C-alpha cells in the first residue's frame, strides 16, 4: 500500500486481522460517567493478547507481505508495545523478528518481547537511536521494516478500532485517543469520521515530549526532546520525514491536549480503584484529560484504553498511593 489509507483499506484490514487480533469490548465506565455527567465508555484494547492495540497494525502489515518478503524476516524499533505485537504476529506466522529498543524501554517489556521468540537489540538512549539500528538491519541484513505508526498498513490496522466503535455505538459524540506518532488517532479518526461525519476525535499526550502536538502547533513535523514519563509508550518523535500520520492528524483531529505526570498517575489510580481496570500510563491519558477537565463532553464519549503493560512495581506503588520515580522526579497523585 503506497497511498494514504481509506475506509476500504480499513475494511480489508478488519477481515485480514480477525484470526489474530481481538474485536475488543466497549464497556460503560460507571465512575467516569457519574463524574462527567455523560455516558463514558472504555474500549478495552488492554484485552488484546499482547496487552495493547498495536497487534492490529502489526498483524495487518505482516499478513500483507508476500511469501518472499516474509522469508526475509522483519525488524522494528519500539517503545515496547509495537515490538511485542510484531514479535507475537511474526511468531504466529512463522517469521523471524528483530526488535530494537532504547534504554528508555522498561525491562519488563523487553523481557516479554524476548519471551515471544524475537531477537531483542538494546540500542542507544532514545527512540531515534533505535530507529537508526532498524535502518542498518534493513540495509545490511535485508530485513523488512515494520514502522510503529507511519505506514498505511499499520494505520489501516489501528483504524479497525474506529470501525468497531461506530458499529457498537452509532450515537457516539466523541472519541478521546492517546496520541504519540498518530497511527492510532489517525486511523481511528479516518474510520470514525467516514462513518459518522459529526464525531469529534481528540488526541491526548503527556506534557513532556509531545511530538505530534508540537508538530501540529508548528504546522510541520518538529523534533522534541524525549523525556522519561509514566506514559512511556507515548515517547519518541514523529519523524522529520513523516509521510502519513502528521497529515492525517492535521486534517482529522479536532483537538490535541496535554496532561501532566500527576494527572496520569491519578488516572491510572482511578481506573484501577474505581473501574477495576489495569491501564498503563499511555492508556490512562484519555481518562486523565477527562478527570482534569481538559476536554468538555457533549454526549456519549469513548476513551481508548490502549494498553495495560504497566511495570508491576509501578502498578503496586500506584495502587497503594505511593510515589513513583520518573527520571529524577517523584510523581504522585
Residues that bind ligand PLP (CB under 6 A): 52, 54, 81, 149, 178-185, 233-234, 280, 282-283, 306-307
Nearest residue (CB) to ligand PLP, 124 versus 181: 181
Q: What is the 3-state composition of the chain as percent helix, strand, coil, each rounded to the nearest 5?
A: 45, 15, 40
Q: List all residues 6 or more positions away from 164 whose beta carbon is below 8 Å from its beta carbon.
A: 23, 24, 26, 43
Hunting for cell 502498578 — which residue is that? 315
Give the nearer residue to ligand PLP in terms of CB position, either 182 or 209: 182
Which residue lies nearest ligand PLP, judged by its C-beta?
A: 307
Q: Which of 78, 215, 229, 306 is labelled catalytic?
A: 306
Residue 77 is inside which H or E element, if any? Answer: strand 74-78
* Alpha-carbon dihedral angle through residues 182, 185, 189, 190, given to the nearest 10 degrees: 40
Q: Do the beta carbons of residue 220 and residue 36 sit within 8 Å?
A: no
**Least distance from ligand PLP to the Cβ atom of residue 239, Å:** 11
User: Is 109 part of the annotated catalytic residue set?
Assistant: no
For ligand PLP, the closer of residues 178 and 221 by Cβ is: 178
Name the strand (E) or helix (H) holding 203.
strand 200-206
Q: How far is the CB of 309 from ligand PLP (least distance, A)?
A: 7
Q: Which three cell numbers, joined as nine digits, stand for 38?
A: 455523560
The answer to whether the CB of 249 falls within 8 A of the CB of 177 is no
How far is it, in rounded angstroms, from Cα 83 to Cα 50? 10
Q: Among residues 57 and 124, whose Cβ is nearest to ligand PLP?
A: 57
36, 43, 54, 153: which is the annotated catalytic residue? 54
Q: Contact at 8 Å (CB) between 52 and 183? A: no
Residue 14 has phi, psi (to 5 degrees) of: -60, -45
CB of 71 to ligand PLP, least distance (A): 28
Contacts (Cβ under 8 Å, ≥6 apart) of 292: 259, 260, 263
Q: How many residues would you count in the chain?
A: 333
- 10 Å CB burial of residue 8 (0-12, 13-18, 19+) is exposed
Q: Which is nearer to ligand PLP, 233 or 242 (CB)?
A: 233
Which of 238, 232, 179, 182 shows the shortest CA–CA distance to 205? 179
Q: What's the sign of the alpha-carbon dihedral 52, 44, 300, 273?
A: negative
Q: Is 54 a catalytic residue?
A: yes
CB of 280 to ligand PLP, least distance (A): 6
Shortest gap between Cβ of 185 and ligand PLP (angstroms)? 6
As measured in angstroms, the least distance from the Cβ of 187 to ligand PLP is: 8
Residue 60 or 306: which CB sits closer to ligand PLP?
Answer: 306
The catalytic residue positions are: 54, 306
Amino acid at each position: 500500500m503506497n497511498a494514504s489509507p481509506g475506509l476500504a483499506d480499513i475494511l480489508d484490514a478488519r477481515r485480514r486481522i480477525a484470526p489474530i487480533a481481538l474485536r475488543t469490548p466497549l464497556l460503560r465506565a460507571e465512575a467516569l460517567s457519574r463524574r462527567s455527567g455523560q455516558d463514558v465508555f472504555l474500549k478495552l484494547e488492554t484485552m488484546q493478547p499482547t496487552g495493547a492495540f498495536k497487534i492490529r497494525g502489526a498483524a495487518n502489515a505482516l499478513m500483507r507481505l508476500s511469501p518472499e518478503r516474509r522469508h526475509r524476516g522483519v525488524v522494528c524499533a519500539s517503545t515496547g508495545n509495537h515490538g511485542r505485537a510484531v514479535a507475537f504476529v511474526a511468531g504466529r506466522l512463522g517469521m523471524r523478528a528483530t526488535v530494537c529498543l532504547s534504554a528508555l524501554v522498561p525491562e519488563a517489556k523487553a523481557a516479554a518481547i524476548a519471551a515471544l521468540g524475537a531477537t531483542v537489540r538494546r540500542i542507544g538512549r532514545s527512540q531515534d537511536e533505535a530507529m537508526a539500528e532498524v535502518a542498518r538491519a534493513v540495509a545490511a541484513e535485508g530485513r523488512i521494516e515494520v514502522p510503529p505508526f507511519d505506514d498505511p498498513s499499520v494505520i489501516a490496522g489501528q483504524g479497525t478500532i474506529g470501525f468497531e466503535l461506530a458499529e457498537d455505538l452509532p450515537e457516539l459524540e466523541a472519541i478521546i485517543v492517546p496520541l504519540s506518532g498518530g497511527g492510532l488517532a489517525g486511523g481511528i479518526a479516518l474510520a470514525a469520521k467516514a462513518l459518522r461525519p459529526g464525531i469529534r476525535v481528540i488526541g491526548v499526550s503527556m506534557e513532556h515530549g509531545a511530538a505530534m502536538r508540537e508538530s501540529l502547533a508548528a504546522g510541520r513535523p518538529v523534533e522534541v526532546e524525549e523525556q522519561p514519563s509514566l506514559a512511556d509508550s507515548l515517547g519518541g518523535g514523529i519523524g522529520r520525514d513523516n509521510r502519513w500520520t502528521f497529515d492525517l492528524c492535521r486534517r482529522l483531529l479536532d483537538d490535541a491536549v496535554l496532561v501532566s505526570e500527576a494527572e496520569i498517575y491519578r488516572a491510572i489510580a482511578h481506573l484501577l480503584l474505581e473501574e477495576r481496570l489495569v491501564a498503563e500510563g499511555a492508556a490512562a491519558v484519555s481518562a486523565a484529560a477527562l478527570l482534569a477537565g481538559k476536554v468538555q463532553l457533549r454526549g456519549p464519549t469513548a476513551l481508548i484504553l490502549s494498553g495495560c503493560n504497566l511495570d508491576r512495581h509501578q502498578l503496586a506503588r500506584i495502587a497503594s498511593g505511593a510515589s513513583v520515580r520518573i527520571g529524577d522526579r517523584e510523581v504522585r497523585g
